Amino acid sequence: MNPHGYRFIGTPLDLTEGEAYHLRKYWKKGRQARAILPLAAFEVDVDVAALQTLVQLDCAHCHLAHVASCCEGGFPFPPAKELLPMLDEHLDGIAAYLTPERVRHLLQKGLYERHLETAGHQTIGTFAGDCTFCHVEEQGPACMAHRYAVQAGLAPESVKPLSCLLYPLELIESEADGRTLLTALTEQTAAFSRWGADYRLDFICANQDLRATDDETDQSPNIRRNLPADVFALERYRPAYVEGQELLTSRYGADFYKELEILIQGGRRL
């Protein structure tokens, strides 16, 4: 059991004491203000405003707007134990998309590593400082697990760990009542989200304001300057819950997503 009463869904990592404190306050105030509404049939609480945050997950063109993608410069969140067999099942298929150097690394070191930052939990290992599955090219997603899934006609969520697909959505379960908060990364939720403030400030995909501003002076050095209008074009941003439709439907079912749409758009509530 998490010592603070909450757990991130999809990873065994615990919320810190500070994250749990901010989450508890946010969730309570949101319920009281009716800003967080229940989908009772699914034991999910919906953060209505946060899920309407405008995002654009154009991973295939991430490198055009960013110096480094979120897959570079470290290792991913450790997958929940029940997700590990999924990775093992598809490893041969993913390996076909990796460079020979990465394949040799896998054969020598294995897929998983443990780190102090992951509290000793297994996570996908690294090669040259990046996730082993990360390989930046001119076209297509940097994640070779994602590319394998797309080109094999598989749903990415059947191949990749949840935390690698969830961004910028967030799912946190309360161990007190078993309910799950469904929210998205915002300035307010960054205080308790697994993504934190850096993900919001370093990537324009989840922060339309960074793309819209004419003043690039104080922007993160990870964001490229003077972007062409068609790179992460403002008109292509969509609400986070719409961008995450495939993942949410896969996890909770079509009925869930239908009710989620109705709730957010101001219709009937379950």
In a domain, residue 93? The reply is yes
In a domain, residue 63? The reply is no
Q: Is 163 in contact with 195 (CB distance < 8 Å)?
A: no
Give the pLDDT confidence score for residue 119 in this predicted structure.
86
Are residue 114 and residue 233 in the same domain, yes or no?
no
φ/ψ of residue 179, rounded to 5: -85, 155
Residue range 210-260, pLDDT digits in tens: 999 877 778 999 999 999 999 999 999 999 999 999 999 999 999 999 999
Tokens found for residue 216: 């690039």
What is the b/e burial string over 94-128, where b = at least 16 CB atoms within 10 angstroms of the residue's CB? Answer: bbebbeeebeebbeeeebbeeeeebeebbbbbbbe
Are residue 15 and residue 143 in the same domain, yes or no?
no
Are residue 243 and residue 114 in the same domain, yes or no?
no
Q: Is 189 in contact with 183 (CB distance < 8 Å)?
A: yes
**Domain C-terminal end among 98, 129, 159:** 159
Are residue 219 and residue 92 in the same domain, yes or no?
no
Residue 270 predicted with pLDDT over 50: no
Angle (deg, nearest 10), helices 254-264 and 245-252: 130
Q: Is 60 in contact with 66 (CB distance < 8 Å)?
A: no
Are residue 24 and residue 43 in the same domain, yes or no?
yes
Residue range 99-127, pLDDT digits in tens: 999 999 999 999 999 988 888 899 999 99
Give the pLDDT confidence score for residue 269 in this predicted structure.
47
pTM for the model = 0.93
Length of the chain, in residues = 270
Write the single-letter amino acid at 15.
L
Are residue 22 and residue 154 in the same domain, yes or no?
no
Tokens found for residue 157: 């969520």
Q: How many CA within 13 A on the CB side of residue 258?
A: 4
Residue range 29-78, pLDDT digits in tens: 999 999 999 997 899 999 999 999 999 999 888 989 999 888 888 889 99
What is the residue range of 206's domain? 6-57+167-264
In a domain, residue 65? The reply is no
In a domain, residue 152? The reply is yes
Tokens found for residue 210: 């960074």
Count of the separate structural domains present in the chain: 2
In a domain, residue 98? The reply is yes
Tokens found for residue 229: 């209008």
User: In the chain, pLDDT over 90 holds for what percent of residues?
Assistant: 80
Are residue 87 and residue 44 in the same domain, yes or no?
no
Give the pLDDT confidence score for residue 40 in this predicted structure.
76
